[in-house]
């Protein structure tokens, strides 16, 4: 039995994925399916709520990496919120905060989606 699940919520045009449990090479396919569903639904603003994510290995990190460029090419983003400290540490190990918006709360992530995009 899988010890990982993904819950879906929607807030305006943002799809919120609530991750629960342990994300490893066995369960990463469920996260991948969830992100693919967002793409199929033409929803490219994806907010990951990690408050109930208790473990992540590189297989989970790899899913975010595999989709971030496509999501951004479609004008969206994957923002990550409310990670437990031990899970944040794994993201931080490989420098993920450089590439992803990782914030403390879901509200902060929503605000970042709603903020005007800076022109380069």
- Residues lying near other proteins in the complex (CB under 8 A) are found at 3, 22, 24-26, 28, 32, 55, 57-59, 61-63, 65-70, 86, 90, 93-96, 98-99
The partner residues of 6 in beta bridges, in order of sequence, read 19
C-beta of 50: minimal distance to other proteins in Å? 16
Instruction: Give the nearer residue to other proteins in terms of CB position, either 33 or 94.
Output: 94
**Residue 61 Cβ, how far from other proteins at the closest point, in Å?**
6
Strand 45-56, strand 14-23: pairing: parallel
Token look-up 């629960």 returns 20
Of 43 and 59, nearer to other proteins (C-beta) is 59
Instruction: Please report, for residues 26, 40, 41, 68, 88, the alpha-carbon distance to residue 100 in angstroms, rounded to integers and kept in the order given.
Output: 24, 22, 22, 9, 12
Rounded to the nearest 10 degrees, what angle do helices 28-40 and 58-73 cross at?
10
The smaller minimum CB distance to other proteins, of residues 55 and 112, is found at 55
């Amino acid at each position: 039995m899988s010890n990982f699940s993904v819950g879906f919520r929607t807030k305006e045009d943002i799809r919120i994925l609530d991750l629960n449990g342990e994300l490893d090479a066995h369960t990463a396919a469920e996260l991948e399916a969830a992100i693919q569903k967002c793409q199929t639904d033409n929803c490219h603003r994806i907010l990951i709520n990690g408050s109930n994510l208790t473990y992540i290995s590189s297989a989970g990190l790899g899913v975010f990496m595999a989709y971030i460029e496509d999501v951004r090419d479609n004008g969206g983003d994957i923002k990550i919120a409310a990670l437990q400290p031990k899970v944040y540490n794994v993201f931080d190990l490989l420098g993920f905060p450089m590439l992803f918006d990782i914030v403390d709360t879901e509200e902060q992530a929503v605000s970042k989606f709603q903020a005007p995009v800076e022109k380069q």
